[in-house]
Structure 1
Amino acid sequence: MTLPLIPDGPRHYPRAARWLHWLMAIGLIWILTSASVHALLPKSGLDEFMWPTHKHVGTVLLVLVVIRLGLAVAQRAARPRSTSRLASLGHVALYALMLAIPTLGLLRQIGSGRAFSPLGLPLIPGFDGPKIDGLVNLGNDLHGELGWVLLALALGHVLMVIVHVVKGEAHIWHRMRG
C-alpha cells in the first residue's frame, strides 16, 4: 500500500521540507549509529564498515541543514504553526545542534592539518606544521558530547510525535509524514 503525497498547505509542511526532513532523519540515524558503534564496538567489523562514512555523512547533513533552514525562512508563510513554545524551542535546539556539531567536526579537521575530501570533493587542504590546538581542542571537547545531546533530543522529538498520536492528535504526525 502506498500513501498519497500530502499536498502543500497551511496544515502540512511544504513538500521540500518533508523530503529534507526524512532524508536528514536517515542521515542522522546513520551518523548517530556510526558514532554509537565506534564508541561501544571499536575496531569491530561493523565499526570498520560504518566509521569511515561518519565525516562524509556529517558533511552532507551540514549542507542539508543549511538548505533546510533556507527553505524554512523562504517558506515560513506556508508552514504550519508550532503546537507550543516548548516545541518551538525543541526545534531550535535540534537545528542549532545540527549546525554546530558538523561545524565543530570541520574545525577540528582544519586544525589537525589533515586534508579532507568528502565524497571525493576537495574541501579542506592539509598543511604541514603544528596543529592548531584551539580548533582541535574545541572539536575534541564538544563534537562528540553534543552528538549525544542531539541523540537525546532526536529521541525526544520522536517520543513527542508518539505522545501526540496516542493523545488523538495524529495531525501532528501527518504534517510531516509526506
Structure 2
Amino acid sequence: MRSTPWRDTPERYGLVSRGFHWGMAALFAWQFAGALLYVGIGDTAVTRLVGGSHFTLGFTLLVLALLRGLWGVANLKRRPRHPGRHGRAAVIGHGAIYALMIVIPSLALLRQYGSGKPFTPYGLPLMPGRDSKIEWMMIPADLFHYWLGFTLLIVVMGHALMSVLHRRLWKENVLARMA
C-alpha cells in the first residue's frame, strides 16, 4: 500500500489539505444547521442546542480558514491544477469561498467587540467586556453577517454540485483529488 503524502501533489491534495477541507465541511454543516433551524423554527431548545456553539464555532472556522489559506499558499506550486475555462471558474469559486470564510466571522467579531460583551472562546479571554457600546462597529455585521452567511451556504452548495457535474457531465473525477 502506498503511503499518502502530507503535502499536496499535482495529482491530489495531501492529508493536511484534505483534513482542513473535510473537517471544516463538517463544522460548517453544524454551523449552517443551527442557522437554518433558527430561521425555520425560531428560538427553541433544539435551536439553542445546535446554535449555542455558533459564536465559538465561527471563531474556530475563522482561525481554520486562515491556517488553511496559509497551508494552501505554502503548497500552491504543488497543488492540482485547474486548467481551462472550468478551472478559471473553480479558482473564482474557491476565492469566493475563502473570502466569505474570512469576512463573515470577522464581521461577527467586530460586532462582538462593539457590543461591549466579553468573548471568551474555549475559556480564552479574547475580548474583555465593557460598559459602553461602539455602535459603528456593530452596524456592518448587523447589515451583512446574516446575508453573507447564506450566500456562503449557496456558494458551498454550488461547490459540491460542481464536483458532481464534473463527474457526470465532463467525466472528470475532481472529487478524487480531495477524497
TM-score normalised by length of structure 1: 0.92
Q: Which residue does 2:120 correspond to in 1?
A: 117
Q: Partners of 1:64 and 1:31 in 2: how far apart?
A: 14
Contiguous gaps of at least 5 residues in structure 2: none
Q: Partners of 2:175 and 2:112 in 1: how far apart?
A: 38
* SS of aligned partner of 1:13: coil
Number of residue equivalences: 172
The AA in structure 2 aligned to 1:52 is G
Which of residues 128, 133, 140 in structure 1 aligns to 2:131? 128
* SS of aligned partner of 2:178: helix
Structure 1 position 57, deviation (Å): 0.7
Contact 1:9–1:78 (CA under 8 A) maintained in structure 2: yes
Q: Which moved more, 1:49-58 or 1:89-98?
A: 49-58
Q: Partners of 2:148 and 2:15 in 1: how far apart?
A: 29
Q: Partners of 2:148 and 2:48 in 1: how far apart?
A: 23
Is 1:57 matched up with 2:57? yes
The AA in structure 2 aligned to 1:51 is G
Q: Structure 1, residues 87-136: CA drift from partner, whole Å, max 9, x if none?
A: 1000000000000000000000000000011121111111112x111111
Q: Which residue does 2:164 correspond to in 1?
A: 162
* SS of aligned partner of 2:90: helix
The AA in structure 1 aligned to 2:38 is H
Q: Which moved more, 1:37-46 or 1:151-160?
A: 37-46
Q: Which residue does 1:17 correspond to in 2?
A: 17
Q: Percent identity?
A: 38
Structure 1 position 5, deviation (Å): 7.0
Label 1:123 to 1:82 Cα distance change in 2 as closer, same or farther (>3 A): same
The AA in structure 2 aligned to 1:161 is S
Higher relative contact order (CA 8 A, sep 6+): 1
Contiguous gaps of at least 5 residues in structure 1: none
Structure 1 position 45, deviation (Å): 2.2
Q: Which residue does 1:97 correspond to in 2?
A: 100
* SS of aligned partner of 1:77: coil
Q: Which residue does 2:178 correspond to in 1?
A: 176
Q: Which residue does 1:106 correspond to in 2?
A: 109
Label 1:44 to 1:71 Cα distance change in 2 as closer, same or farther (>3 A): same
| RMSD of equivalent CA atoms | 1.4
Contact 1:14–1:78 (CA under 8 A) maintained in structure 2: no
Q: Partners of 1:96 and 1:41 in 2: how far apart?
A: 29
The AA in structure 2 aligned to 1:114 is K
Q: Which moved more, 1:43-52 or 1:85-94?
A: 43-52
